[in-house]
Structure 1
């Protein structure tokens, strides 16, 4: 089961998506559907069929977002988190092979779209890193069954790694 946590930025992105769909996109598509329906035979009217399907997709996403808003818990940064990996942290880790990974630990609803470098708080990497400090290590089993040791190189909360 996915956690219901979300960063303030993630919540704002979902809210913007909702507002854009509900107040801008949906009224546009509704006008097109009404216009296409007024032309008569809907069974062979491509504008009507396509935009009616688009309207259903918009409505489905809006319902999903509204349900999320009721359940999500926004987690804001707190200075007490500094020095340790917690929800919302940007983390840099490195393994013995020299592989470096940089990611931000966020809620499951934030890892899609333009969220490069975001991982879910529910992922094995995030769960293993939570509570660690710089220079701490943790072990993680890879999909092929190997166990890799990762070392925490850096932790940031205010901005990502450039």
Structure 2
């Protein structure tokens, strides 16, 4: 059983989603199924079928969240340091073609969200950054062609 690296923040978000799905969504869906069942013939009852499908999706996500939280290897980024990029690092980059600056934190697959500046450890850009330091230049094979970035800053926490 492989461990899944994630930050403590990402782990807490998964636990909260699991709690919400088990304690809020599950009872709401069960009530919707009961109400739809009371309407009679189930073979042509769209509300019943929609509620059952919603139940199936919710239970599937609950099982997935339980698996993820069980296999989580929570890494406390606030206790990390060093001058080389690794999991949990926050990195400020500049695109050498456009001079556009971007800041990313390298996180686990489940907590990645580019809009919030969190990239997955398994993404091409994160893989290119691992092991590098401030001042280094990295080449990233992107869908639109190779991109070149200079690492401006590395910080932790």
- CA 117–76 in structure 1, closer or farther in 2 if over 3 Å, else same: same
TM-score (norm 2): 0.86
Match of 1:118 in 2: 118
Structure 1 spans left out of the alignment, 5+ residues: none
CA contact (8 A) 2:6 2:75 kept: yes
Superposition deviation, residue 8 in structure 1 = 0.6
Q: Counterparts in 2 of 1:6-155, with a 5 A limit? A: 6-97=6-97, 98-112=99-113, 116-146=116-146, 148-155=147-154
TM-score (norm 1): 0.84
Superposition deviation, residue 5 in structure 1 = 0.8
Root-mean-square deviation (CA, aligned residues, Å) is: 2.2
Superposition deviation, residue 150 in structure 1 = 1.7
Superposition deviation, residue 144 in structure 1 = 4.4
**SS of residue matched to 1:74:** strand
The aligned length equals 155
Structure 2 spans left out of the alignment, 5+ residues: none
Aligned equivalents of 2:17, 2:78: Cα separation in 1: 26
